Amino acid sequence: MAFGITTKLHLQCSMQPAAMSRRRHAKLGHVRCAAAATTTLTSKAAVATTASARTVRSRRAPAASSASVSHMWKKVHGLEDWEGMLEPLHPVLRDEVVRYGELVRACYEALEEDRSSPKYMNCKYGKRQMLEEAGVAAAGYEVTRYIYSSSDAAVPGMEAMTSGCASWAGYVAVSTDEMTRRLGRRDVLVSFRGTVTAAEWMANLKSSLEPASFDPRDARPDVKVESGFRNVYTSTDKTCRFGCVDSCRDQLLREVSRLVASCSKTHPGEEMSITVAGHSMGGALAQLLAYDLAELGLNGDAPVTVFSFGGPRVGNAAFKARCDELGVKVLRVANAHDPVTKLPGVFLNETTTRLGPLDAMRGACYMHVGQELALDFVRFSDLGSVHDLGAYVASLKGEAAAGEVSFHHINAYAGVIAKAMEFIDRQRDAAMRVCDWFCQLA
């Protein structure tokens, strides 16, 4: 079995946290820094100038090099498994990965986390204004539907408040005519945020494998995925106050199918792509959707590509093999210091079970899908930033301006990272005992 290509980018920059009046989840900050290279802005005028420049950068049109993507978009979307594009990282591919990262970050920017708001855990903006309000006005996409997900993984002591409650998970969009000309095809985009709610955190802890069973015509019981991710993808909230009684899966299959059929009818002969992008848990949901679309044949002739940022493993060896067979392409952008990218299966995985006495366990172990674009950044005073989407995007950009990425919920999120590392240690110890047992039998 072929395994993903890995390339590491060692990007250094100077970065200090920006002072922010409001705190929000999952935009913790940046990044790998030399302590002596920090920059301090002391005057109000300098701060205002930096903030103004940052606003202009966040709302500017896509980079000029994106014009060339029209001539090589199939390679950028993994037609040749990104061969020759990862080491060194091709500038057009980098720009496209950054572009999709910004479109995922819009999910965090637009999510209402104020508990006193009637839109709590919904999108703060209407579909027409959402991308502009989230800072990507020049994205070149029209949002067609909001997506909601729920989980029946209740938090102990908070069952009534958490179990089955739906929340805004992302959106579906399609490229405008102008962007379609720049991209060389009509792009249907699905964008997912990462874990935010307590119920989602509980679902993430369900690390057991279970059959995906998405195609009723062929259940493929050997193809297994993490039960918690599948739960978020397929659960329903019949009392959803946002009017979303269907599961995340049903909403997505219906909308993507509609867009594929509509674009094929409205623009006959035009090439089309389906791009699914997500951060953290959103990267897992992206892989489930991509596999689901391809397994059911709902993508038509459009290639399906996943851009995952800080995403975990999703399924077993059979899941990986089936994704490869169906032509689902996955580019995983992973920080070497991000523990989430090493879960589940921190020890028993695609590398450790390749040879030796553990080979027989491959079918029951988690395996990454696709190719890996490995980054390497860390700020030891803020360990939570190793999983931050803003830090991922800024690292790819190679930005070094002070305050370019803001820090939010640092202490709380650092605690989550610490718990993840503790979980990794426990898994490693248990796996070592299993390995010792197998070695004694060999």
The residues annotated with a catalytic role in the active site are 280, 338, 387
Q: Are 365 and 317 in contact (CB under 8 A)?
A: yes
Phi first, then psi, for residue 128 (nearest 5°) are -70, -30
Distances (CA, A) of 265 to 247, 258, 259: 27, 11, 10
Residues 40 and 61: their CA atoms lie apart, in Å, by 29
Distances (CA, A) of 128 to 142, 168, 242, 384: 7, 16, 18, 33
For 357, the 3-state DSSP assignment is helix
Question: Strand (E) positions, 290-428?
Answer: 304-309, 315-316, 329-335, 366-367, 371-375
Residues 144 and 262: their CA atoms lie apart, in Å, by 12
Residues 83 and 86: their CA atoms lie apart, in Å, by 7
β pairing state of 209-211 and 272-279: unpaired
Q: Which of 191, 186, 215, 210 is nearest to 298 (CA)?
A: 215
Residues 347 and 86: their CA atoms lie apart, in Å, by 26
